[in-house]
Structure 1
Amino acid sequence: MDVDQPVASCSVLTTSVVLQTLPKIDENNSMDNKHPKERVVELLDLLEGHVETLRKDAAQLEEDRDQLLATLDTVRHADLLNQLDENDVDDVSRYADRIMNRCQTVEVRVLTQRDQMQEEALSQINHLIDGLVMDLRNDHEAAKQRCISYVNACSSIMVDGVMDKKFESALLGCTLDDQKRVKKRLQGLLSYFGRLRVQMFD
């Protein structure tokens, strides 16, 4: 299956621009010969477009925050720290913790409407990915191969290896928004595996 995302537009509207371009409701406009319902529907169409832009911007902020946290975690566990003396390690760790705590004060959530079956499918997906992350500590290579099989289940283009049919079946039960988020999350994990491998062989 393929849940590839379309290329995002380069001109992402900021919140301030959105507010400036919101349609104005003029109920006394005698120059507009359209039926009142048609005028209201046109306004709602414009507002719907702004809402979707807002959701996309918020989702991007949510992703940026997660990437920042993942990068901070990578820095905190970098092999480079082994070259520092104990006092320097403490200083760097406190600095990283302070940045991480600051980042965690930012909360961005984009809610997705789901029915019961979609909730259960997403729960199954999260359980599988959480298990993958836990297995990373025990067997790095096996966890990486499983991650690749999950990524292959999200796309029509095989990265390498095989596709996990159980994961694909659960993913098909998720909403389209959840499918896109899962694919991004797995791609981020795969990049993390790549960085770990570089550190291991430095």
Structure 2
Amino acid sequence: MDASFWIGFVNIIIIDIVLSGDNAVVIGMASRKLPPEKRQQAVIWGTGGAVALRVILTALAAWVLLIPYLKAAGGLVLAWIAFKLLAGEEAEGDGIEASGTLWSAIKMIVVADFVMSLDNVLAVGGAAHGDFVLLLFGLGFSIPLLMFGSNLIANLMDRLPVLVYVGAGILAYTAGSMIIQEEVVQQHIAPVLYELTWVVPILVTGLVLGVGLWWRRHTHQSFV
């Protein structure tokens, strides 16, 4: 329990708070249309899936880092998920049974968590510096953050449905950041066009929100 341990301890708390936000947004958005009892199930399963994925990714971190274009592909998937959360749910219609809706929400949560958990795993792993206790703490601390955060977000969206656009924007911006942070892009493009570091996330956000707004207008959907 020396100074480096406590520095890592504090760093992990900050990392979890910052990086768990996107995951909480996904869980909250995907579960917001479910009845209260189904929503709680989606939150529990979604949180459990997120933590399980982080454990697996932590064990395979060294191998996962070798997969080319992983972040870019993950960014594209996350952008699609942001659009689906914004418009796809209503596009599927109101005739879906509650159990099917719950399963769809859980699937979307797990896929998005897989995409977004990589940064969290790498950041927590780096802050832990190989300390197994700190690594376990980082994984454990994310559980209440995800559960509390996603419930709070879902409840807020019930009261202020326009926040769906805010949530989709956050996810779309994260997707753009993942694409531009791809190692190949950083090596060949970013050094020449540094502005792309912030331009690409903004463009992806605008594209997702713009298409989502067009879709809602085209299908005569409202935020309620």
Normalised-by-shorter TM-score class:
0.3 to 0.5
Higher relative contact order (CA 8 A, sep 6+): 2
Q: Name the one with the larger helix percent.
A: 2
> Given the two structures, how large is their TM-score scaled by the length of structure 2?
0.31
Larger Rg: 1
> Given the two structures, how large is their TM-score scaled by the length of structure 1?
0.34
